[in-house]
Structure 1
Amino acid sequence: MSFNNVSPSVEAVKKDTFFSVLREALAGTERDFTKGSIPLALTILAIPMILEMSMEALFAIVDTFFVAKLGAAAVAVVGLTESVLALVYAVAMGLSIGATATVSRRFGEKDFDGAARAATHVVYLGFVVSLVMGVIGVVFAGDIYRLLGAGEDVLAIGLPFMQIMFGTSAVIVFLFLLNGIFRGVGDAAIALRVLVVANGLNIVLDPLLIFGIAFFPEMGVTGAAVATVIGRAAGVVYAGWALFGRSIGRLQVRAEHWKLDTGLLWSISRLSGTGVLQLLVTTATWSVLVTIVAVFGSVAIAGYQIGLRIFVFLLLPVVGLANAAAALVGQNLGAGQPERAERSVWIAGGSAAAILGSLGIFFVLFSNLLVSLFTTDPEVARYGSDCLRIIGYGYAFYGLAIVTESAFNGAGDPWTPTYINAIVLWLIEIPLAYVLANSYDVGPQGVFWAITISFSIWTVVAVALFKRGKWKLKVV
């Protein structure tokens, strides 16, 4: 593969307009991201990645929208299953950390055969992990529901739903893994198309299979699971075709790249395993915080969940920017340009902090208005508004934290953010949340303050470790 005549000169960069950059970002590019303007590279990569994150968030929203018409028990099924599937998502995203770090490093080295071999071994790893999770989910679906406190009405309609979702967890794993490969080589536009295919089919099939429209069977809440699985499977098929079939992207995979290399498989497994641990620590933290809020009743939980959903949804642009920074870090380290990799992170981090800092000001001033879009209950609105307002004070820190975490992961150093997560979230955030909420009569707002304080500490620690530069020496 050659990058002749695709690396932009300074003059060429100056001629780029907003619409030409947008067109290039969405259509795909052969641009060499180890050269040229860093802000331009971040923009071209981040635009499709931001849209990709939004597409991923649509799955649960669409399912909940249609299932809500079936009643409270059906909504509970989707909610409970999604809370358990968060573990599957954590595993899938953790695995994709290893995929992106390894593939981007090889691609930056211009070792395209090495990048292709890494891609095939990521697939091997995905098969093993998804098989284990699928079997566990199908066999123990009922026990999982009972553990979560589901009633018999929920269990009766929810068991097939969870068995289908868990039994086909491979489509979730491969959706994240294959898109992690595309992001690693800079094919963010293809990763976006994969989610467009998956979401488009899910949106069409959801009402048809849930309500039995036309000649489709009426499957109720189970239809939502079937529609989601078919949509995701279609996305995986398209991704596989793009990567291993037609090879329409920047990476060319051939038959010889499938030869098993146990050393490579072990290397990717170690990186991915640490990434999984990192995500599980974070996921478990949010679960514990919910239990602390739950002591104050369902109204407090509802307000917290509304505030948190708004908070997380508006993080998506920065998550896309962070993924772009991770890809640039991996490729530039592979190209022997650690200083360019570092500049990419500071530019992305500064942009993320500015974006979320502006949103944070909006949260502080207009949290009541935002929350009122989701509830008319004054008590729920009060808790939700407090959650957004208090989190808003530290929102700029979240931006820099997300980018820094992704930078460590992109450099093949997932252990550093994992250590920070374990220490700050479990030794500071959770104890602080409990003490503030219960010992100082602050109530649920104590949990909100603990989140803001701990993430501010997380950011300071992460930036200090990032500036030391040991991540530049990581061998992947």
Structure 2
Amino acid sequence: MSDVGVAEIPVDEEERPVPPQPQPVKSRLLDGPILRTLLSLAWPNVIGLSAGTCVVIAETSYIGRLGVEALAAMALVFPCVILMMTMSGGAMGGAVASAIARALGAGDRDRAGTLASHALLIGIMFGLVFMLGMLIFGPTVLEMLGGRGDVLTHAIAYTQVFFGGAVLPWLLNTMAGVLRGTGNMKLPSLLMLNSAACQIILGGTLGLGLGPVPQFGMRGVAAGALIAYTLNIGVMGWYLFSGRARVVPKLLGLRVQWAMFFDILKVGAIACFSPLQSVLTISILTHMLAKFGTAILAGYGIGARLEFLLTSIAFSIGIASVPMIGMAIGANRIARARRIAWTAGIAAFFALGAPACLVAIFPDLWVNIFTDNATVRAASHQYLSTVAPFYSFFGLATAMYFSSQGAAKVLGPVLAQTARLIYISVCGWFLSTHAATAQSFFWLAASSMVVLGVLSCSSVVLTRWGPRDAKPEIRPALSAAD
């Protein structure tokens, strides 16, 4: 037998130990029952986000005591505040959680720690951008939104303080994203409760001037929020850097790696367009309904408050799916990742649909909280009976958005939001030029939610989540001599 063509293997190469490869972590997020695990992660978020709703209600209450101008100023600033909070918490926070979860799913804790450090840098940079942008251009933006006189003065006062500390909410939501990426939903939610309590107490005290504290007005309300954020950053930072979390951010000797920034920003930068488009969509629809008078606009506003409340439920379910899907993607378990996405979508669909349909049938359960004006009540009944049954599609779209974040494939749901924006703009323009009634615009709002839900689901179906199939290796044909 000929030895030609047989390569000899040196003994030292044969006996050289193979370096250990990272192994996927074993946890309930990767191996536990999907629905039970998803709900166990979601319920703390529901409580935490409900606390945020309480802050909005409380702030509206005590700002009202500062006068009608202050209340109008808060309404003027509110879209800017919501835009920053949803970008930092939902869009970029979800991207951070996704990157951390994918690294842990692949068993690479060192990478997860490095990603956490880069995430903090991203949070600081985005916070500085919001700070400089609102301090320089904020007064002009508020004036473009309709601010005049004392209303504009109050709005600028709030903006200067709150956005002067914009780094704080960005840093807080980035830390929360790191913890959520490890599957820890309880601590961020507990701190949201703590933050809500501090905001209500401090904002009310500084804003109204309770006891020996002088009245700082809108500046005091903004300062109360920033102090609450600072306290919670201290607690969350201590937890992260003390080693109690599964991921410890690496700061000493950190070398900036653009690949780490890209891993987060390839999801987060695109995802930031979703809240931006959502705010723009609401603004366009509000502008179109304003021509029908105060009663219709107020009725729409009452319905929009219900949408805001129910969206927090969809957010809770969606953000809970991010670490589950991220870890499954990191461990290359694509089929499980997709099952998690559809489970989250169905759960969000019914979680929003059930209470929304109840309110559509019995609208006074919700309307009576806000008004006893007969005209406004009639407009609210009309809006809720038309639109509320379709909130379930909005919940479905929200779940698909966060699931796609977990898979690092968020472009599809963002384009679905773009399609909804175009749909409302074009159809709204058509209705406006054909003397349509307010009811027609309510149907436009309802149908746009169906469009958003269907397109978001379609994007998940059509987008490849796993690695592309490798091409088979082409081997040369054996010759007869071989």
Give the shorter-chain TM-score range: 0.7 to 0.9
Native 8 Å contact 2:131 2:164 kept in 1? yes
2:100 to 75, 94, 103: 103
With 457-466 and 400-409 compared, the bigger mean Cα shift is at 457-466
**Structure label with greater radius of gyration:** 2
CA distance in 1, matches of 2:113, 2:407: 18
Q: CA deviation at 1:215?
A: 2.7
1:124 Cα deviation after fit: 0.8
Structure 1: unaligned runs, 5 residues or longer: 1-5, 8-30
Letter in 1 for 2:428: A
Per-residue deviation, 1:374:
0.6
1:136 aligns with 2:150: no
Which residue, 427, 451, 462 being the options, matches 2:456? 462
Note the 1:246-265 alignment, pairs <5 A: 246-255=242-251, 258-265=254-261
Match of 2:318 in 1: 322
Q: Which is worse superposed, 253-262 or 320-329? A: 253-262
TM-superposed CA distance for 1:344, in Å, is: 1.3
Q: 1:225 to 1:102 in 2, by over 3 A?
A: same
Say yes or no: does 1:360 pair with 2:366.
no
Q: CA deviation at 1:230?
A: 0.7
User: Is the contact between residue 293 and residue 301 of structure 1 (CA under 8 Å) also seen in structure 2?
Assistant: yes
Q: CA deviation at 1:55?
A: 2.6
Distance 2:435 2:208 in 1: 50
Whether the aligned pair in 2 keeps the contact of 1:190 and 1:249 (CA below 8 Å) is no
Tell which deviates more after alignment, 252-261 or 377-386.
Answer: 252-261
1:37-90, Cα deviation, whole Å (9 max, x unpaired): 112211221111212222333332222121111210111121111122233234
1:47 aligns with 2:43: yes
Change (3 A) 1:463 1:266: closer
CA distance in 1, matches of 2:374, 2:444: 24
Query: Which structure shows the bigger proportion of residues in helix conformation?
Result: 1
Aligned equivalents of 1:236, 1:126: Cα separation in 2 = 13
| 2:449 counterpart of 1:452 | no
What residue identity is the alignment partner of 1:450? Answer: L
Residues 49/170 of structure 1: CA separation in 2 closer, same or farther (3 Å cut):
same
Residue pairs, 1:176-195, within 5 angstroms:
176-195=173-192
Aligned position for 2:331: 335
Q: Deviations over 1:393-420 (max 9, x none)?
A: 3233222222112111211111111111
AA of the residue aligned to 1:124: L
What SS is found at the alignment partner of 2:408? coil
- Residues 222/341 of structure 1: CA separation in 2 closer, same or farther (3 Å cut): same
Q: Which residue of 1 aligns with 2:201?
A: 204
| C-alpha distance in structure 1 between counterparts of 2:379 and 2:428, whole Å | 15
1:266-310 Cα offsets, whole Å, 9 max, x none, are 332232211112221222111111111111122221111111101
Q: Give 1:464 deviation, angstroms.
A: 2.7
Q: Which residue of 2 aligns with 1:159?
A: 156
**Deviations, residues 325-359 of structure 1 (Å, cap 9, x unaligned):** 12211111112211111111222222222222222
**Displacement after TM superposition at 1:438 (Å):** 5.2
Instruction: Please identify, of 35-44 and 133-142, the stretch whose mean Cα deviation from structure 2 is larger.
Output: 133-142
Q: Where does 1:227-242 land on structure 2 (aligned, <5 Å)?
A: 227-242=224-239
- Is there any run of 5+ residues in structure 2 with no aligned partner, and where? 1-24, 469-482
Corresponding residue of 1:14? none
Q: Secondary structure at the match of 1:248?
A: coil
CA distance in 2, matches of 1:433, 1:420: 18
Partner of 1:278: 274
Alpha carbons of 1:77 and 1:111: their partners in 2 closer, same or farther (altered >3 Å)? same
RMSD over aligned CA atoms reads: 2.2
| 1: CA distance, partners of 2:155 / 2:435 | 40
CA distance in 2, matches of 1:280, 1:392: 23
- Which amino acid letter does the alignment assign opposite residue 158 of structure 1? A
What code does the residue aligned with 1:121 have?
H
CA deviations on 1:162-208 (whole Å, 9 max, x unpaired) are 10111111122122222122211101011112212221211221232
